[in-house]
C-alpha cells in the first residue's frame, strides 16, 4: 500500500469497456458498495479543491504483474460538490475525450454510488484478460474492485463486460489487484 493511503477493496456492480486500437472508446464503472471511501468535502482528499485534488482511474489487466494504465480528472473546474442531503462530488467534461480529461463524468455519492465514465480506455493490451481490476484514487483514498470469473460476461478483443463482482477478500488494494489472498479488514467509513 502507498504510504499514507487508505484503501477500500469494494464490490463492483459493472465494468464495461469497448475500445479501438487508438484506445478511444468507452469505459463505464459502477459500484453501489456503501463502504467505498468518500472524500470529505473541503478536505485534503476533496477532488475539486484538495491537495493534490482530482481523481485518477487505473486499470490492471490479467495476472500479475498488474499494470495497465490510467486516466485522470484534474482538480479545479469541472468538479462540483454538494453538502446538503446526500453528500456528493461530481466531475463533468462533455468534451471528452478532449478538454482537460478523457473522463466524461465521475459521480461519488456518500454511501450510495461511485461511477466513472471515460471516453478513453487506457489499455494497450487486448482481451482475453481473465480478470480486470480498477482503482480510483482521490488524494490519499484508493477504492478498487476486481472482476474475474464468474462475473465476466464478455472478454474478447476490444470488449470487456463484467457484472456483480463481490468485495475482494483482501486487506488493501495492492493485495486485491495482485490477487493475493489476505484477511478481510473492515474499514471505517469516513464521516
Tell me the per-residue pLDDT of 30-68, one tens digit each, with 9 for 90 and over.
999 999 999 999 999 999 999 888 999 999 886 554 445
Measure Cα distances from 163 to 5, 41, 157, 174 in Å: 27, 30, 18, 21
Count of CB atoms within 10 A of residue 20's CB? 9
pLDDT tens digits along 2-14: 556 799 999 999 9
Q: What is the DSSP string of 52-75?
A: S-SEEEEEEESSSS---EEEEE-S
Pairing of strands 141-148, 152-156: unpaired
Higher pLDDT, 127 or 129: 129
Question: Per-residue pLDDT tens for 162-188?
Answer: 999 999 999 899 999 988 543 332 333
**Cβ burial, residue 85 (10 Å; 0-12/13-18/19+):** exposed
pLDDT at 69: 65
- Gap between the terminal Cα atoms of the chain: 22
Q: pLDDT value at position 185?
A: 29
Is 145 in contact with 31 (CB distance < 8 Å)? yes
Q: Are strands 141-148 and 6-9 parallel, antiparallel or unpaired?
A: parallel
- For residue 175, what is the enclosing H or E element? helix 173-178
**Alpha-carbon distance 179 to 170, whole Å?**
8
Asked if residue 17 lies in contact with residue 160, where contact means CB atoms within 8 angstroms, the answer is yes
What confidence score (pLDDT) does residue 168 get?
94
Comparing C-alpha atoms, which of 48, 41, 6, 7 is closest to residue 146?
7
User: Would the pTM count as exceeding 0.85?
Assistant: yes
Q: Shortest CA distance to 25 belongs to which of 155, 160, 164, 152?
A: 160
Average pLDDT over every residue of 114-137: 88
Query: Is residue 81 a contact partner of residue 55, using CB atoms and an 8 Å limit?
Result: no
Q: Record the cell numbers describing residue 132, joined without a space.
A: 480486470
**What's the grid cell of residue 135?**
482503482
Residue 1: band (very low, low, confident or very high) from pLDDT cuts 50, 70, 90: low
pLDDT at 74: 82
Please answer whether residues 31 and 38 qualify as being in contact, where contact means their C-beta atoms are separated by less than 8 angstroms: no
Position 2 scores a pLDDT of 56
Note the pLDDT of residue 68: 58
Amino acid at each position: 500500500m502507498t504510504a499514507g493511503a487508505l484503501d477500500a477493496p469494494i464490490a463492483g456492480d459493472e465494468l464495461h469497456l469497448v475500445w479501438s486500437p487508438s484506445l478511444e472508446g468507452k469505459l463505464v464503472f459502477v459500484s453501489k458498495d456503501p463502504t467505498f471511501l468518500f472524500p470529505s468535502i473541503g478536505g485534503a482528499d476533496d477532488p475539486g479543491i484538495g491537495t493534490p485534488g482530482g481523481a485518477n482511474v487505473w486499470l490492471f489487466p490479467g495476472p500479475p504483474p498488474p499494470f495497465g494504465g490510467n486516466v485522470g480528472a484534474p482538480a479545479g473546474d469541472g468538479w462540483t460538490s454538494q453538502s446538503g442531503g446526500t453528500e456528493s462530488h461530481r466531475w463533468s467534461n462533455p468534451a471528452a475525450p478532449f478538454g482537460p480529461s478523457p473522463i466524461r463524468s465521475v459521480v461519488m455519492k456518500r454511501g450510495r454510488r461511485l461511477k466513472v465514465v471515460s471516453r478513453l480506455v487506457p489499455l494497450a493490451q487486448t482481451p482475453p484478460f481473465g480478470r480486470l481490476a480498477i482503482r480510483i484514487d482521490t488524494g490519499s483514498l484508493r477504492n478498487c474492485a476486481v472482476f474475474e470469473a464468474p462475473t465476466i460476461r464478455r472478454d474478447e478483443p476490444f470488449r470487456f463486460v463484467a457484472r456483480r463482482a463481490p468485495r475482494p477478500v483482501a486487506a488493501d488494494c495492492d493485495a486485491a489487484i495482485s490477487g493475493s489472498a489476505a484477511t478481510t479488514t473492515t474499514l471505517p467509513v469516513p464521516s
